């Protein structure tokens, strides 16, 4: 069976970032804990799916995605200073939540959910980075197809009735995550 729309796919892979000769391993899915998803449901990057479409169980793959094929270029305008008081709950800041390097679910003025990483905290402001963690990176994938099978009607229904860990609502608009989750 080959990878095609609505197939349940399991992949083992290494994801490295950087330029040839200077790669850093960022993520790994193993045969014991593979990446599993339903192909063609907007849960994976389009360029990622284009590179594995038509592969079968046991096939190996190796491909590179440029920033324009993945999460875009790093954009300095996506670093925003927010008033520190918006992080208050009952008039107090939760110090266990508000610290440099932490990633928080946020919502913009239009109600869109997005993830932001805290860059710095001052007395009155919190500087947050709303770039995807892999923005600007060249992504190198090497791996193999662990399994391909028909997705059940229940799996497809469950996919579109849930919210993934990044907060996107599959039921309303599919998953266009840009947050790094692998829903």
Is 166 inside a domain boundary? yes
- pLDDT over 50 at 130, yes or no: yes
Number of domains in the chain: 2
What's this model's pTM, rounded to 2 decimal places? 0.77
Q: Quote the Cα angle for 125-130-135, to 5°.
A: 140
Same domain assignment for residues 14 and 59: yes
- Same domain membership, residue 67 and residue 11: yes
Residues 15 and 104 in one domain: no
The pLDDT tens digits of the residues spanning 167-177 come to 444 433 444 44
Q: 118: domain CATH number?
A: 2.40.10
pLDDT tens digits, 78-94: 999 999 999 988 889 88
Domain carrying residue 98: 76-129
**What 3-state DSSP class applies to 155?**
helix
Domain with residue 164: its CATH number is: 3.10.50.40
């Amino acid at each position: 069976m080959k990878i095609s729309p609505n197939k349940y796919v399991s992949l083992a892979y290494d994801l490295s970032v950087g330029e040839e000769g200077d790669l850093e391993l960022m993520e790994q899915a193993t045969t014991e804990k593979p990446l599993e998803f339903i192909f063609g449901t907007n849960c994976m990057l389009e360029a990622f799916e284009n590179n594995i479409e038509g592969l079968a169980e046991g096939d190996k793959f190796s491909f590179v995605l440029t920033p324009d094929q993945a999460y875009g270029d790093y954009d300095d305008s996506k670093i925003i200073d927010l008033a520190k008081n918006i992080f208050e709950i009952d008039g107090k800041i939760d110090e266990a939540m508000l610290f440099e390097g932490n990633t928080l679910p946020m919502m913009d003025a239009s109600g869109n959910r997005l993830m932001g990483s805290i860059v710095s905290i001052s007395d009155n402001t919190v500087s947050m980075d709303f770039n995807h963690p892999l923005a600007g990176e060249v992504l190198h994938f090497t791996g193999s197809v662990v399994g391909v099978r028909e997705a059940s009607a229940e799996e497809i229904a469950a996919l579109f009735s849930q919210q993934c860990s990044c907060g996107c609502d599959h039921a309303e608009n599919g998953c266009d995550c840009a947050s790094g989750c692998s829903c």
